[in-house]
Amino acid sequence: MRIAIMGAMVEEIEPILTKLDPTLAPESELSQIIAHMQHIKLHTIAGNHYFEAKYKGHEVFIAYSKIGKVFASLTASVLIEHFKVQKLLFSGVAGAINEDLHIGDLIAAKRLCQHDLDITAFGHPYGYVPEGKVYIESDATLRFLAQEVAKERGIELKEGTIATGDQFIADPKKKEWIRKTFQADAIEMEGAAVAVVCDAYDIPFFILRSISDAADMDASFDFDEFLKSSSKISADFIIALLDKI
């Protein structure tokens, strides 16, 4: 099967690349990965790198989109249209909205919405545009397989609503507004864009995030500190999920 693994930032996909090419040293810089990879092929399209690898009979296409909904939509579209992927897995970090989520915890999106999409001036709900939907559900089979992985590892995998927008949220008032308006559990900047693209193409997708911060006053401080460790937690889980597909 042809499977995409996407992240937004290079830190989010580095642990996947170093796992898929064991000749690479863990925690390598991108330039080192590109210079030394032996089992991964590089493609560059529209300013983004796409890494092609083989894993247990699958052809895997790994990419980081860069931050935000526009870059995420571009990358997901290229993965589907050009690389013909049949499933898309997203790995990365998120800010916690639900108080039960702590740094390093995993959350799988059951559904995703765009918290910054606003044509309420025309009487529509937040997050809605005509011919669109406020919430897009991720693939139930991939979520089921992910719960099997969680059980085997003896960890809890929460499922919930992920809200996406082109803003890094570091403000308790904004966080509370997003929680109330969308019943959101976590917040990030790409998931719903990927969901819109996959839904339009009818490609099953799974969005996994490990918590890096609490989307409050300390968020940017926490983010810098926990980006790498939380990215690795999410990436390790995604590799285990790949084993089940």
Catalytic residues: 12, 213
State which of positions 212-241 bind ligand ADE (CB under 6 A).
Answer: 212-213, 215, 219, 223
CB atoms inside a 10 Å sphere around CB 24: 20
State which of positions 7-46 bind ligand ADE (CB under 6 A).
Answer: none
Q: How far apart are CA 57 and CA 199, in angstroms?
A: 26
Residue with tokens 């996994």: 208
Handedness of CA 159, 161, 165, 168 (dihedral sign): negative
Of the candidate spans 37-45, 112-120, 165-173, 198-206, the one that interacts with ligand ADE by CB under 6 A turns out to be 165-173
Q: How far apart are CA 242 and CA 57, in angstroms?
A: 11
Residue from 11, 14, 139, 188 touching ligand ADE (CB under 6 A): that is 188
Q: Examine residue 187 and tell whether it contacts ligand ADE (CB under 6 A).
A: yes
Binding mask 94-123 for ligand ADE (x = CB under 6 A): xx----------------------------
What is the β-pairing status of strands 48-55 and 87-96? Answer: unpaired
The answer to whether 123 touches 74, Cβ cutoff 8 Å, is no
Question: Among residues 21 and 225, whose Cβ is nearest to ligand ADE?
Answer: 225
User: Which residues sit at the interface with ligand ADE, rule CB under 6 A?
Assistant: 93-95, 168-170, 187-189, 212-213, 215, 219, 223
